[in-house]
Amino acid sequence: MRSLIDFNQGWLYAARDLPLSAPDAEFAPVTLPHSNAPLPHHNFDISAYTFISTYRKHFDLPEPLAGRRLMLDFDGVMTACQVYLNGHLLGEHDGGYVPCSFDITERARPTGNLLQVCVDSTEREDIPPFGYVIDYLTFGGIYRDVRLRYVAPVHIRDAFVRTHDVLSSTPSAEIDLWLHNALIEPVQVAVNWICDYTPRDDAAPAESLDAP
């Protein structure tokens, strides 16, 4: 039931803050990942990319929902964003180095959807790495991939893997899983983990791998 679909094509871009009512003629076509401003290799001011810009995309659903949930995944938007679908605010996200996801199931239509993303690329003290002293430039825009992700009503929302003794002959791993149930009633689920482990040629011989 899970499906992952590339969503990088067919975007529109304007290097300023535009309202939802702005015509498409105010935008230029772009493909993601995208930088909010072309910059030279040296000798430029940070004001060249620290501004608010707008991204827009018209789209039809590539697959029917068929009882699934539909997530919109951004791998990275620098530095903060507000995401609108068909005139409704889906949510906001702060932090350009952390991915974000929005559940668009209730707002998405089979055809004729309008997605708009307001991207704030200014150096805001309330969003790391700003607020103190940094020695690098962050740039701006939707600078990583975007995807549509169809998932079952009960699905893995997040996962965290901790590895132990990876250079020894008995490496192991622990996984924390966060499950999300979009159904009305509680359900019981089983989670199966298949670990395909192949030791490196220069690693110590692997005798066993704990796979709880």
pLDDT category at 35 given cuts 50, 70, 90 is very high
Categorize the per-residue pLDDT at 210 as very low, low, confident or very high, splitting at 50, 70 and 90. Answer: low
Band of residue 202 on the pLDDT scale cut at 50, 70, 90:
low
Mean pLDDT to the nearest integer, 50-58: 97
Q: Considering only CA atoms, which of 153, 49, 56 is closest in space to residue 96?
A: 49
DSSP class of residue 135 equals S
3-state secondary structure of 5: strand
Tell me the pLDDT of the chain averaged across its residues.
91
> What is the pLDDT at residue 74?
98
Write out the two tokens for 198: 């192949």
Chain segment 78-93, per-residue pLDDT in tens = 999 999 999 999 999 9
Q: Which residue has the higher pLDDT, 131 or 28?
A: 28
Number of Cβ within 10 Å of residue 122's Cβ equals: 16
Q: Is the pLDDT of residue 63 over 60?
A: yes
Cα–Cα distance measured from residue 139 to residue 133, given in angstroms and rounded to the nearest whole number: 16
Taking only the tens place, the pLDDT of each residue in 126-180 is: 999 998 888 888 899 999 999 999 999 999 989 999 999 988 888 888 999 999 9
Rounded to an integer, what distance in angstroms lies between the CA atom of residue 120 and that of residue 92? 11
Exposure string for 152-181, b = 16+ CB within 10 A, e = fewer: eeebeeeeeeeeeeeeeeebbbeeeeeeee
Q: Token digits for 131?
A: 């607020």
Residue 158 or 12, more confident: 12
Per-residue pLDDT at 200: 65
Instruction: State how far the Cα of 164 lies from the Cα of 128, in Å rounded to an integer.
Output: 29
Percent of the chain with pLDDT over 90: 72
Categorize the per-residue pLDDT at 209 as very low, low, confident or very high, splitting at 50, 70 and 90.
very low
User: What are the tokens at 25?
Assistant: 């003629």
53 or 48, greater pLDDT: 53
Compute φ and ψ for 85, nearest 5 degrees. -130, 120
3-class SS of residue 48 = helix
pLDDT at 201 over 70: no
Give the model confidence (pLDDT) of 109-122 as tens digits: 999 999 999 999 99
Enclosing H/E stretch for 164: strand 154-164
> Measured between alpha carbons, how far apart are the two ends of the chain, in Å?
25
Is the pLDDT at 199 greater than 80? The verdict is no
Residue 26 has phi, psi (to 5 degrees) of -80, -5
Contact 100, 90 (CB under 8 A): no
- Report the predicted TM-score, pTM, of the whole model to 2 decimal places: 0.86
- Cα 58 to its chain centre, rounded Å, is 18
Quote the percentage of the chain above a pLDDT of 70: 93
